[in-house]
Amino acid sequence: MSAVLIDGNALSRELRADVAMRAARLKARGVTPGLAVVLVGDNPASQVYVRNKVKACEDSGLHSVLEKYDADLSEAALLARVDALNNDPAIHGILVQLPLPAHIDAQKVIEAISPAKDVDGFHIASAGALMTGMPGFWPCTPYGCMKMLESIGYELKGKHAVVIGRSNIVGKPMALMLLQQNATVTICHSGTRDLGALTRQADVIVAAVGKRNVLTADMVKPGAVVIDVGMNRNDEGKLCGDVDFAGVREVAGWITPVPGGVGPMTITMLLVNTLEAAERGL
Ligand code: NAP
């Protein structure tokens, strides 16, 4: 039996329509939610990401500003720009596209963003808020994964969720969000022994590794939900995830595709966070 596809494009359209409606409501009250995207250098992938983010803002009626700087911009100059954006009332969300050039301390720049405008959810205050269950901005990718689980009406309470990957932007926040919904969570990483023995026990698997075929059909319990965060290229150069999609879809109950799964949800949750930043400021 083939798994039900969780369509990130369709869910994004729904959520973005809601963002557009709420943005129009704010505009009627004289506030246009605004996102500033800061790009330093000419990393080709980053250029595509920031273009997509700015376009998504425009399509949903949000104001967006793209600030592009040469790769030799000094750390002090970048910190000064962040400070100016922190104090700009037309800007509700600030996103500094990573990676930054090596001479800039990325963590220092993230910490310079006001937590009230940290729509990427990478600030240590946002991480602390998630950890303690306080209000704050959740990182967009795992937040999008949670929305996907919600969209299928999946009850996480008491379920065993296995997260593969422990990065600060995906794996760890993902585990905390699942825990907050009362799942029993296992976090796996490169030092995990016998990954398959753990994933075979899972009701929900989130793969966030960045390696093809980390999860194959023999590692999945029949009926499990499989969320594929990975973004890789296959031998033909096509985008693919961490999951052996063709094999796993025959075993899983639900599965997200790549492309068209978590990717569009990440940008959608950035819009949601920006809108909420503007709403909170009222
Ligand atoms: P990352 O910082 O490189 O983290 C990868 C994690 O995978 C690490 O925790 C690493 O363990 C673990 N790992 C590596 N090999 C493993 C193995 N064989 N078995 C189990 N765990 C293993 O990557 P990331 O930023 O979290 O991103 C993960 C993937 O998601 C990438 O493909 C990235 O492009 C993609 N991504 C997609 C979106 C989207 O919008 N769709 C957004 C963000 C990221 P250690 O900690 O032990 O090294």
Chain segment 236-255, per-residue pLDDT in tens: 999 999 999 999 999 999 99
Share of the chain above pLDDT 90, in %: 99
Pairing between strand 239-240 and 232-233? antiparallel
Tens of pLDDT, residues 211-234:
999 999 999 999 999 999 999 999
Residues 144 and 192 in one domain: yes
With tokens 């593969």, the residue in question is 164
Residues 225, 12: Cα–Cα separation, whole Å: 19
Q: What is the mean pLDDT of residues 82-107?
A: 98
Half-sphere exposure of 43 (CA within 13 A, CB side): 14
Q: What is the mean pLDDT of residues 108-136?
A: 98
State the CB neighbour count (10 A cutoff) for residue 87. 9
Tens of pLDDT, residues 148-206:
999 999 999 999 999 999 999 999 999 999 999 999 999 999 999 999 999 999 999 99
Domain encompassing residue 247: 140-263
Here the tokens at position 212 are 């093809």
Which ligand 1 atom is nearest residue 231's CA? 32
Q: What is the mean pLDDT of residues 102-111?
A: 98
Residues 87 and 172 in one domain: no
Residues 104 and 169 in one domain: no
Residues 146 and 216 in one domain: yes
Residues 46 and 103 in one domain: yes
Q: What pLDDT was estimated at residue 1? A: 67
Residues 161 and 242 in one domain: yes
Whether the per-residue pLDDT at 282 is higher than 80: the answer is: no
Which ligand 1 atom is nearest residue 267's CA? 40
In the predicted model, what is the mean pLDDT of the chain? Answer: 97
Taking CA atoms, 221 is separated from 96, 133, 214, 242, in Å, by 39, 30, 15, 17
Number of domains the chain is built from: 2
Q: What is the mean pLDDT of residues 254-269?
A: 98
pTM: 0.97
Determine the residue of 141, 164, 170 to mutate for testing ligand 1's pocket, defined as the one with the most ligand atoms within 8 A of the Cβ atom.
170
Q: What pLDDT was estimated at residue 272? A: 98
With tokens 């009850």, the residue in question is 155
Pocket of ligand 1 (CB under 6 A): 141, 164-167, 169-171, 188-192, 195, 208-211, 214, 229-232, 262-263, 266
Residues 147 and 232 in one domain: yes
Q: What pLDDT was estimated at residue 281? A: 80
* Secondary structure of residue 115 in the 3-state scheme: helix
Q: Which residues contact 170 (CB under 8 A, 6 or more apart)?
A: 139, 141, 142, 208, 229
Residues 98 and 148 in one domain: no
In a domain? residue 87: yes
Confidence of residue 72 (pLDDT cuts 50, 70, 90): very high
Q: What is the mean pLDDT of residues 100-104?
A: 98
Pairing between strand 225-228 and 93-96? unpaired
* CATH label of the domain that carries residue 38: 3.40.50.10860
Residues 86 and 185 in one domain: no
User: How many A from CA of 143 to the centre of ligand 1?
Assistant: 16
* CATH label of the domain that carries residue 237: 3.40.50.720
Q: What sign has the CA pseudo-torsion 53, 59, 63, 69?
A: positive
Tens of pLDDT, residues 22-44:
999 999 999 999 999 999 999 99
Whether the per-residue pLDDT at 95 is higher than 70: the answer is: yes
